[in-house]
Amino acid sequence: MTAPYSASEFTAILLARDLHDGERGAAGASATIPMAAILLARALHAPNIQIAGEMFVNPQPRRLWHSMLDDRALGRCEAAETFTELFEHSHRGLDFFFHSGLQIDRYGNINLHFVGGTYDRPKMRGPGAANISYAARSKRFYICATQHTPRVFVPAVDFITIAGNLHGPDSRRQAGLVHEGPRYCITPLCVFDFAAETGLMRLKSVHPGVTPDQVDAASGFEVERPALVPTTSPPTEIELATLRRVVDPAGDLREGHSL
């Protein structure tokens, strides 16, 4: 079945729905979908959303680019800061941030460093992480997975680059993590949220045309799910039209553009 919208577009729309007017947040590097989500929320229902924390304050890009942390993408903005301000934002905090990963585990921990072998002699080395501080210092974050496979969704990550729920609420407290942590994990198949009591990922809704069993098969661990799994509300006409007209006129999130 071909949906009349791409998985990337859908993810951006789902994220946008959860960003609120007056909140402050940032995307990051390699973050086309998150930036699209913030811009869409700003266009639809959150005109007072503040984009800050990754050096560009309230950027106004005319289109999306596949890297969203440079002057090409964000150079039109209200102010530009430097990396020193990362400390300041740690102090003031952000409401939301976004992460993606090579591996994501059932506690929402994220690995960007290596898979297999040891840290010094990995089977597969990842890019590492530019900024890990917002996992602790933003009030919540979202996990965007562009692939949903058992290799990505693993029982336990080989290395915790970004702390999700660690090994549950107690371990979060012990580590000094005081904020909400990961709220949703959005994949091309479904939306996960996290159980407050255990910190474990659970199936919140499946995307139209996807069954819970498909999610199970695509995940490397047993997915906790309610008896009746709702279907994710598909994009509305207004959401999709605004995304395409205002945020992504060049069509970078459409099918056929790899992110």
Partner 1 sequence: MNQRATKLITQDAVGAFLRKTLQPGGSVCLGGLFKQNRPVALVRELIRTGIGELLLFSSPGSGYDVDLMIAAGLVAETFLPAVTLETRMCSNFRDAVENGRIRAHAVDALTIVGGLTAAASGLPFYPVAAWHGSDVTKINPLITPMVAPFGGETLHAVKPIRPDLVLLHAQEGDEYGNIRHLTTMTYSDALMARAGTKVIVSVDRIVPTDAITRAPRATTVPCIYVDAVVELPFGAHPTGSFPHYSIDEAFIDGFADISDDVRRDPAARPRLDDYLARHVHQPRDIFDYVDGAGGYRRMAELEREARFL
Q: Give residue 230's identity as a one-letter amino acid code.
A: P
Please report whether residue 56 would count as binding partner 1 according to CB under 8 A.
yes
Please report whether residue 151 would count as binding partner 1 according to CB under 8 A.
no
Comparing CB distances to partner 1, the nearer of 120 and 197 is 120
C-alpha distance from residue 245 to each of 26, 60, 73, 99, 210 (Å): 22, 14, 17, 26, 28
Please report whether residue 58 would count as binding partner 1 according to CB under 8 A.
no
Question: Interaction with partner 1 in 187-226: which residues (CB under 8 A)?
Answer: none
Q: What is the dihedral of CA 180, 186, 190, 194, to 10 degrees?
A: -10
Contact 2, 249 (CB under 8 A): no
Contact 128, 172 (CB under 8 A): no
**Two tokens, residue 27:** 């995307």
Contact 64, 73 (CB under 8 A): yes
Of the candidate spans 125-133, 139-147, 205-213, 234-242, the one that interacts with partner 1 by CB under 8 A turns out to be 125-133
Residues 72-101 as x/- pattern, contact with partner 1 by CB under 8 A: x-xxxx--x-xxx-xx--x-----------
Separation CA 92–CA 94 (nearest Å): 7
Comparing CB distances to partner 1, the nearer of 24 and 172 is 172
Minimum Å gap between C-beta 111 and partner 1 is: 9
| Phi, psi angle pair for 95, to nearest 5° | -75, -40
Beta bridge partners of 99: 143
Please report whether residue 122 would count as binding partner 1 according to CB under 8 A.
yes
Please report whether residue 162 would count as binding partner 1 according to CB under 8 A.
yes
Pick the binder of partner 1 from 24, 99, 106, 113 (CB under 8 A): 113
Please report whether residue 155 would count as binding partner 1 according to CB under 8 A.
no
Separation CA 161–CA 110 (nearest Å): 6
Pick the binder of partner 1 from 47, 60, 66, 245 (CB under 8 A): 66
What does the binding site for partner 1 look like in residue numbers (CB under 8 A)? 29-30, 55-56, 62, 66-67, 69-72, 74-77, 80, 82-84, 86-87, 90, 113-114, 117, 119-137, 159-163, 166, 171-172, 175-177, 258-259
